Structure 1
Amino acid sequence: MGSKVAHVNTSDSGPDISIDQLDDADAGALLTLQRAAFVSEAQIYGSADMPPLTQTLEQLRAELRENDAWGARAGGRLVGAIRFRVDGGTLLIGRISVAPDQQGEGIGRMLLESAEQRSGAAEAELFTGSLSEANIRLYESCGYAVSERVPDGDGTEQVFMRKLLRT
């Protein structure tokens, strides 16, 4: 496990959450978390044929070599993760995954804030699907604004969102 960037308690009764850098040794747990987290998205879109659910362990390992990945742990259990990279001063946020039983507890927000602070980037960009209303609300509450909507072939749209991190 890499360096630790945060250690907080999200509620009076809940366990402490630590945010640590993930590496190849975490790939199996990360893939399990990702698949569990995206089942609800598959239900919203009526299809399990989406990259977070079809990605293989080897594909994930390759992605971990090319991107930063941070995980939120509660009592040693991986309960959230975010993948990102900086390109030309822009923080490009990849998949954010939170365990279904931990969604709504602030873990996604903590992961976003950690990536933003760590990146040193001037702005951040992410995207989600247009039917993922809870995700859009979360990102808007974190200061992201819709910058572009790109039609998908299935009648939905990819919603790109941006946030200015520093001037």
Structure 2
Amino acid sequence: MAMSVTISAATDDDVEQILKLQYLCFQPEAERHGDYGIEPLVQTLDQLRAELDAGYVVVARLGAEVIGSVRATVEPDTTARISMLCVHPRMHRHGLGSRLLTRIEEHVRTERAATRYRLSTGHADEVGLRLYRRNGYTPVDTVASAGGRATLVTLEKEASATAFTTSA
């Protein structure tokens, strides 16, 4: 019998697996921009634990293995900052990115009163940009990354907006 993927809130027991997954998933982004000092690749376990305490982290599991993750915090202006969406490469094209995004949006809207969602991705992340657009996000800004080697695209969506799916 095949195992099914479950999506739930992360716990402190998931932190090491999340960090390893994040490191694996963000390697291509770092390579594209020639910058291996990007946050997902230099974050420590203690920093991730602090994020888990301060915000909300969702994981996708296949059995006991964490195969996807996403995080969010809600700012005082009720904008949810969504970050670090990642899915294990062997699980791409199964809809997990959209499922994780939907779950975190639902949580911050209903439990944390978010009225808008905001996230950023590299301008060359065609897969990510397509995923976010399919889920109702629109680009609102572009800025140079902290290291200056990449351009980040910021996308937003109103919490009341309904996500839609189109063929990729």
Query: TM class by shorter-chain length?
Result: 0.7 to 0.9
5+ long unaligned stretches in structure 1: 1-12
**Matched residue, 1:7:** none
**Matched residue, 1:62:** 50
Question: Deviation of residue 95 (structure 1)?
Answer: 0.9
**Matched residue, 1:50:** 38
Identity %: 32
2:158 counterpart of 1:164: yes
2:93 counterpart of 1:104: yes
Q: In structure 1, what residue type is equivalent to 2:154?
A: F
**Matched residue, 2:124:** 131
Residues 53-85 of structure 1: per-residue CA shift (max 9 Å, x gap) = 111111111221111101001122110001101
Q: Which has the higher strand share?
A: 1
Question: Deviation of residue 125 (structure 1)?
Answer: 0.5
Match of residue 141, structure 1, among 122, 134, 138:
134
Q: In structure 2, what residue type is equivalent to 1:134?
A: V
Residues 78-106 of structure 1: per-residue CA shift (max 9 Å, x gap) = 10001101222212101111111112221
- In 1, distance between residues paired with 2:135 and 2:2? 22
Question: Deviation of residue 151 (structure 1)?
Answer: 2.6
Match of residue 72, structure 1, among 32, 57, 60:
60
- In 1, distance between residues paired with 2:41 and 2:144? 21
TM-score computed with the length of structure 2 as normaliser: 0.85
**Matched residue, 2:165:** none
- In 2, distance between residues paired with 1:136 and 1:55? 23
Residues 104-146 of structure 1: per-residue CA shift (max 9 Å, x gap) = 2211110000011111222110001111111111101110000
**Matched residue, 1:33:** 21
Aligned residues, how many? Answer: 155
- In 1, distance between residues paired with 2:34 and 2:4? 35
TM-score computed with the length of structure 1 as normaliser: 0.85
Match of residue 151, structure 1, among 134, 144, 153:
144
- In 1, distance between residues paired with 2:79 and 2:30? 29
2:112 counterpart of 1:119: no
Q: In structure 1, what residue type is equivalent to 2:87?
A: V
* Cα pair 2:69 2:85 within 8 Å, conserved: yes
5+ long unaligned stretches in structure 2: 162-168
- In 1, distance between residues paired with 2:74 and 2:94? 27
Range moving further from structure 2, 41-50 or 68-77: 41-50
RMSD: 1.8
- In 1, distance between residues paired with 2:106 and 2:45? 28
